[in-house]
Amino acid sequence: MHSKSKTFRGMLRRRFLQNLLAVPAAVMLANASLTAHADSANTTGLAVTDKTVTVGILHSVTGTMAISETGSVQAEKLAIEQINAMGGVLGRKIEYIQEDGASDWPTFAEKSKKLLIKDKAAAVFGCWTSASRKAVLPIFEQYNGMLYYPTFYEGLEQSPNVIYTGQEATQQILAGIDWVVKEKGAKSFFLLGSDYIWPRTSNKIARKHIDKLGLKVSGEEYYPLGHTQFNSVINKIKLKKPDVIFASVVGGSNVAFYKQLKAAGIDMTKEKPLVLTISVTEDEILGIGGENIEGAYASMKYFQSLTNDNNKNFVKAFKERWGDDIVIGDVTQAAYLGPWLWKAAVEKAGSFDIDKVRAASPGIELKTAPEGYVRIHENHHLWSKTRIGNAQADGQYKIVYETKDLIEPNPFPAGYQ
Amino acid sequence: MFADYSITELTSIFAMQGFAGLILFSVFVLMALGLAIIFGQMGVINMAHGEFMILGAYVTYLTSSLFAEYLPSVYGSYFFIAMIFAFIVTAALGALVEWSIIRHLYKRPLDTLLATWGLSLILQQLYRTVFGAREVGVTLPDWLMGSYALSDSIEIPINGLFVMGLTIFITVGVALMMQKSRLGKQTRAVVQNRPMAAAVGINTEKVDRMTFALGCGIAGIAGSAFTMIGSTGPTSGQLYIVDTFLVVVFGGASSLIGTVASAFTISQAQSTMEFFLSGSTAKVLTLLTVVGILMLRPQGLFSLKIRR
Amino acid sequence: MTKIQAFIGRYQLSHLLILAALLLVVMPLAMDIFRLNLVGKYLTYAFVAVGLVLCWGYGGILSLGQGVFFGLGGYCMAMFLKLEASSPEQTAIQSTPGIPDFMDWNQLTALPWFWEPFHSFGFTLLAVILIPALFAFIIAVAMFKRRVGGVYFAIITQAIAAILTILIIGQQGYTGGVNGITDLRTLHGWDIRTDSAKYILYFINAFLLIGCLFAARYIIKSKLGRLLVAMREREDRVRFSGYDVSSFKIFIYCIAAVFSAIGGAMFTLQVGFMSPSFVGIVPSIEMVIFCAVGGRLSILGAVYGTLLVNWAKTSFSESFPELWLFAMGALFIGVVMAFPNGLAGLYQTYVEPRLQRFKKSSDPALASDMDALKTAEIKPNKTKDTESAAEEYSHAGNQ
């Protein structure tokens, strides 16, 4: 599929152009500066020439994480191609160097070093797991690189060298819990997650919030990554009869959990108990099977079924580029934002210089974002809405709720630590 | 922790929990059986065992797609066909691997371990290239995914029953085959004394190949069955491999009874602890116990009396 | 016979000196600090590979859990560095300042007791050596005293690697979990992230490796080395001769563990973090293949093998990440099936005869020793396990 799409690239480019004409060209806000600063832009010590600028893409295309990260790579490549079709950044075409993190954190560190030192990448789009981000973070800070990180994550971090285009935990969780409490009258919660930092922090935040609302947590459980047997915990859930199962199980365990939940006679469409997940995007449903998770609710910022024009164009372009049967999840969309946010910041700064791009980043807004509208906060996270989707048998989410306003990112939430 | 619940609730939960333990037991036996046969009979450790299982899962996925496309009317029964296909395909690959790699290394068992590890890397990447890096969703017939309500509060997952039935069928089948059939008798003869077996006219090379293929085929069936409870992706085989090796090592690695006994012990311990403690703690405690016992009794629960 | 031994001494010494020159002079001159730092990282794996030559190549003990010792050594060093990076001033934003950040995230409010001693650098250095050695000792005593060996030993060590990984990941409040211990900065106030520090660490690493090579060479040449080979071939005969076989095995296994641990500690220093991904099954087996590619009977081959495989991995995965796994898998199978003696074997078969011919003209006596040496070196490789050795023996007995 890969090579095939490459052969058609010329044709596709033209099609992108047509698509992009339909996209409101809001990212053009720095159009005026486009040529004015072009001369000084080459002197940053980065891989910038008069014609091109080089960026890095750093994800796992092999190993266990390839399952999740494939979508992000596709989204980033699509964004870069679209930007190039629109004339590039500061008049320069974006060229990318793709490196494989191989699902191995030390490899991520090695490759990020290579991208920054050898390739002088002007920006790096990449990483997925918190562990890989933690591994590359000191390198980005030491060599002053710029990382656009797409995954929803646990927060507790704010680096000048990272723009977090996914949601941090409070953005994702609080709205979701508020919604099930208000709309579904939930009184008790069972917190279940894979055993690592993200589910643990997420559940900590969820627990504090549930306590604040005066409601009950009837259980909290963690299973090792890759665990495939959930019958015991399902029995426990049956015994405790919580109103809501709040699930942050990840990876292959997800598939096992939902299949076994269904087989144990818990019909999620009956919402007794209701399943609220923060980890299952459309990508994961592909592996779980829509019929096995039908009726569950997910709380995140993006669903493929969003009906705004930005998203329609995005989904169309994505399918044209990567095939019709592809699905787009929350992280994929967040990864797509990365190159656009970088472009906007570069154009605002009028330079590729990392320090200038960083200084220009807060306040950058993207009206063309598939999720609607996003803006970069002072703390390098994004203002975004949170939505609740109801999983359908066809593997898509039906959006049943979205927050009225953008939610402020708060990576160090007071009262939730 | 039980003060808040009525007696009926508790009995039904314990019944279901006991059943959950049995399901786990069946899953472990199914996982480990193929590995144990190959190791017990041939002294070869097949590190690509997980990948053979996933091959079975992919075959199931392909069969289900085929049935959905061409035979939607009998879709409900595709699973049996899929398991037979899974067995045939993995056994064939097993025979091929035995012929091309393993048979050259019988005198160097440690090296087979490395070679099959290399094979597992190749298979993983092959799945990724062919089926894509994402997991595939295997659609199961509806009758398999429900649960059977024994009483008002006791619900038994049908796929659990299915796995149990399958495990019993395969275990009994293998035991019978080893005891009664011609191939089984030949296999045992070869294990006990290879030169003598060859001398009385047994084709030992063929026996080796059949045994290896059989072990791989059982892995394929296991993988096919596990589409009901787990994921199907290029690296999903790795999810099972640790448990599988533990069961085999703990059982003594060379006898089928040992494997069954060890699967029973580990599964019961784990499922009981999972219920009373939390999931991760249970896993760690189970593993620590297993290691502790292995330190005291490194040869496993049951072992052949061989002086090394 | 003594003449041969003298020759082995001289001949291996010269090879060792060539390697030393390569590591200490050629590479630092030819490479920039980025590549050199990468080489330094690869060389930390070479410690493990050299240890494997001793216990697998010579002792016949295949451990698929060497990552455990690499990890233990690395974690000991990482704990010390992390404590230094977690001074109350640097961690002021935490709810409990003065403890590592991941503990704070996991609601720990005090430093766990087993972290306390790692405030001391002296203790850390001791721990890097002693903790893995002790751990190896316990495993080895339990296994070898009961005469567990061969494939069975391999899968038990592998299970131990898997279990330790799950333990480390599960106890994330104490260990940093799946993220590992990251963001290590200074060693007694000396910033280990600067280029100059990386040069210094590279040289320390290279010297330590050469030191380990000398130690390994000493062991191989000693009576112990010959006993190991004897045990690998006919363990029962050595036992009947009155030797305590298990003690030798325990000793060599502990040595291999200590080598790995030194590598792990140097890895932490050079790369700046430690993660559970080194402890597991996959890296442990990869390290075995480094050793196998280099030649399981050659300590120098192990170093070259490690460098070669990692160099191939880095350059391959830069351009064809998908192909790399195929290549790696093929390498495993190919080396095992076609070149069981690895690079060193190829060297002995193809390069050495030419060198020998070259030398023959100058010193004919030496060359005939060379032939004797070759048969002595290569013959043991043909039979790997006691069973086939036993078969050969019975054939020999019949003759």
Contact assignment for C151 to B115 by CB distance below 8 Å: no
- pLDDT of C375 over the 50 cut: no
Contact assignment for B136 to A232 by CB distance below 8 Å: no
Cα distances (Å, whole numbers) of residue C81 to A216, B200, C76, C99, C119:
41, 67, 9, 12, 9
Q: How confident is the model at residue C368 (pLDDT cuts 50, 70, 90)?
A: very low
Average pLDDT of chain A, as a whole number: 86
Q: Order of strands across the sheet with A147-149? A: A93-100, A52-59, A124-126, A147-149, A162-164
Distance of alpha carbon C393 from alpha carbon C387, whole angstroms: 10
Position with higher pLDDT, B118 vs A42: B118
Q: How confident is the model at residue A65 (pLDDT cuts 50, 70, 90)?
A: confident
pLDDT digits (tens, 9 = 90+) for C162-184: 888 888 888 888 998 888 998 88
| One-letter-per-residue 3-state SS of chain C | CHHHHHHHHHHHHHHHHHHHHHHHHHHHHHCCHHHHHHHHHHHHHHHHHHHHHHHHHHCCCCCCCHHHHHHHHHHHHHHHHHHHHCCCCCCCCCCCCCCCHHHHHCCCCCCCHHHHHHHCHHHHHHHHHHHHHHHHHHHHHHHHCCCCCHHHHHHHHHHHHHHHHHHHHHCHHHHCHHHCECCCCEECCEECCCHHHHHHHHHHHHHHHHHHHHHHHHHHHCHHHHHHHHHHHCHHHHHHCCCCHHHHHHHHHHHHHHHHHHHHHHHHHHHCCECHHHCCHHHHHHHHHHHHHHCCCCHHHHHHHHHHHHHHHHHHHHHCHHHHHHHHHHHHHHHHHHCCCHHHHHHHHHHHHHHHHHHHCCCHHHHHHHHHHHHHHHHHHHCCCHHHHHHHHHHHHHC
Among B228-232, C40-44, C301-305, which stretch is predicted with the lowest mean pLDDT? B228-232
Q: What is the DSSP letter of B136?
A: B
- Taking residue B307's Cβ as centre, other Cβ atoms within 10 Å add up to 5
| CATH class belonging to A169-300+388-402 | alpha beta
Position with higher pLDDT, A205 vs C383: A205
Retrieve residue C89's tokens.
């001033």
- pLDDT of C360 over the 70 cut: no
Q: How confident is the model at residue A76 (pLDDT cuts 50, 70, 90)?
A: very high
Cα distances (Å, whole numbers) of residue A241 to B152, B199, C5:
15, 67, 77
- Contact list in B for residue C163 (CB cut-off 8 A) is 287-288, 290-291
**Predicted-complex ipTM score:** 0.84
Chain A nearest-CA distance from C183, in A, is: 6
Among B35-39, B82-86, B106-110, C79-83, which stretch is predicted with the lowest mean pLDDT? B106-110
Residue C82 domain boundaries? 2-281
Q: How many domains does the structure of chain C reveal?
A: 1
- Rounded to an integer, the average pLDDT of C93-115 is 86
Distance of alpha carbon B60 from alpha carbon B223, whole angstroms: 9
- pLDDT of C358 over the 70 cut: yes
Q: Using DSSP, state whether B13 is helix, strand or coil.
A: helix
Q: What is the DSSP letter of B135?
A: P
The pLDDT assigned to C47 comes to 96
Domain boundaries of chain A, sorted by first residue: 2-167+306-384, 169-300+388-402
Q: Which chains touch B (3 or more CB pairs under 8 A)?
A: A, C
Residue of chain B nearest A67, judged by CA positions: B134
The pLDDT assigned to C82 comes to 94
Distance of alpha carbon A103 from alpha carbon B54, whole angstroms: 20
Q: Which amino acid is at A6?
A: K
Retrieve residue B81's tokens.
């066909």
DSSP string, A363-416: T-EETT-TTS-EEE-TTSBEEB--EEEEE-TTS-EEEEEE-SSPBPP-SS-TT-
Distance of alpha carbon A154 from alpha carbon C365, whole angstroms: 72
Contact assignment for C162 to B246 by CB distance below 8 Å: yes
pLDDT digits (tens, 9 = 90+) for A235-277: 888 888 899 999 999 877 888 899 888 888 888 888 888 999 9
Chain B nearest-CA distance from C45, in A, is: 18
- pLDDT of C146 over the 90 cut: no
Position with higher pLDDT, A397 vs B272: A397
Contact assignment for C172 to A113 by CB distance below 8 Å: no
- pLDDT of A7 over the 60 cut: no
- Contact list in B for residue A66 (CB cut-off 8 A) is 128, 133, 234-235
Interface test with C, best of A3, A105, A132, A201 (most C CBs within 10 A): A105
Chain B nearest-CA distance from C333, in A, is: 5
Contact assignment for C172 to A156 by CB distance below 8 Å: no
Name residues 235-294 of chain B within 8 A of A (Cβ): 235-236, 238-240, 270-271, 274-275, 278-280, 282-283
The pLDDT assigned to A266 comes to 85
Q: How confident is the model at residue C259 (pLDDT cuts 50, 70, 90)?
A: very high
Query: Helices B7-42 and B237-251 meet at what angle, rounded to 10?
Result: 80
- Rounded to an integer, the average pLDDT of C152-167 is 84
Interface test with C, best of B111, B126, B293, B303 (most C CBs within 10 A): B111
- pLDDT of C123 over the 80 cut: yes
- Taking residue C195's Cβ as centre, other Cβ atoms within 10 Å add up to 12
- pLDDT of A3 over the 50 cut: no
* Interchain contact B298–C (C-beta under 8 A): yes
- Scan for tokens 């990576």, then name that residue: A411
Residue of chain A nearest B153, judged by CA positions: A238
pLDDT digits (tens, 9 = 90+) for A128-168: 988 899 999 999 999 999 999 999 998 888 999 999 999 99
pLDDT digits (tens, 9 = 90+) for A10-25: 444 444 444 444 433 3
Residue A170 exposed, middle or buried by CB count within 10 Å (0-12, 13-18, 19+): buried
Name residues 244-273 of chain B within 8 A of C (Cβ): 245-246, 248-249, 253
Residue B269 exposed, middle or buried by CB count within 10 Å (0-12, 13-18, 19+): middle
* Interchain contact B160–A (C-beta under 8 A): yes
- Contact list in A for residue C34 (CB cut-off 8 A) is 113-114, 117-118
Element (H, E) at A12: helix A9-22
The pLDDT assigned to C118 comes to 94
The pLDDT assigned to C10 comes to 61
Average pLDDT of chain C, as a whole number: 83
| CATH class belonging to A2-167+306-384 | alpha beta
- Contact list in A for residue B271 (CB cut-off 8 A) is 229, 231-232
* Interchain contact B3–C (C-beta under 8 A): no
Retrieve residue A327's tokens.
């699905």
- Rounded to an integer, the average pLDDT of C360-371 is 51
CA-based nearest residue to A74, from A333, A345, A373: A333
Q: Which residues contact A75 (CB under 8 A, 6 or more apart)?
A: A150, A318, A328, A332, A333, A335, A336
- pLDDT of C382 over the 60 cut: no
Contact assignment for A412 to C93 by CB distance below 8 Å: yes
The pLDDT assigned to C357 comes to 76
- pLDDT of B115 over the 50 cut: yes
* Interchain contact B26–A (C-beta under 8 A): no
What whole-number percentage of chain C has pLDDT above 90? 36
Average pLDDT of chain B, as a whole number: 84
- Rounded to an integer, the average pLDDT of A100-123 is 91
Whether C93 maps to a domain, the answer reads yes
The pLDDT assigned to A73 comes to 94
Distance of alpha carbon B127 from alpha carbon A66, whole angstroms: 12
pLDDT digits (tens, 9 = 90+) for B241-280: 878 888 888 887 667 788 888 899 888 888 888 888 877 7
- Rounded to an integer, the average pLDDT of C200-224 is 93
CA-based nearest residue to A33, from A301, A268, A347: A347
* Interchain contact B9–A (C-beta under 8 A): yes
* Interchain contact C272–A (C-beta under 8 A): yes
Retrieve residue C283's tokens.
């890296």
- Contact list in A for residue B229 (CB cut-off 8 A) is 228-229, 256, 259-260, 263
Domain boundaries of chain B, sorted by first residue: 13-236
Contact assignment for A62 to C169 by CB distance below 8 Å: no
Q: Which chains touch C (3 or more CB pairs under 8 A)?
A: A, B
- pLDDT of C339 over the 90 cut: no
* Interchain contact C324–A (C-beta under 8 A): yes
* Interchain contact A195–C (C-beta under 8 A): yes
- Contact list in B for residue C171 (CB cut-off 8 A) is 284
What whole-number percentage of chain A has pLDDT above 70? 89
The count of C-alpha atoms lying within 13 angstroms of the C-alpha of A199, restricted to the half-sphere facing its C-beta, is 27
Q: Which chains touch A (3 or more CB pairs under 8 A)?
A: B, C
Distance of alpha carbon B65 from alpha carbon C251, whole angstroms: 57
* Interchain contact C341–A (C-beta under 8 A): no
Interface test with C, best of A59, A112, A134 (most C CBs within 10 A): A134
pLDDT digits (tens, 9 = 90+) for A307-325: 999 999 999 999 999 998 8
- pLDDT of C390 over the 60 cut: no
Q: How confident is the model at residue C3 (pLDDT cuts 50, 70, 90)?
A: low
Interface test with B, best of A217, A239, A245, A260 (most B CBs within 10 A): A239
Q: How confident is the model at residue B1 (pLDDT cuts 50, 70, 90)?
A: low
Residue B130 exposed, middle or buried by CB count within 10 Å (0-12, 13-18, 19+): exposed
The overall pTM is greater than 0.95? no
The pLDDT assigned to C391 comes to 41
Among B116-125, B130-139, C2-11, which stretch is predicted with the lowest mean pLDDT? C2-11
Distance of alpha carbon B247 from alpha carbon A254, whole angstroms: 24
Chain A nearest-CA distance from B244, in A, is: 13
- pLDDT of B304 over the 60 cut: no
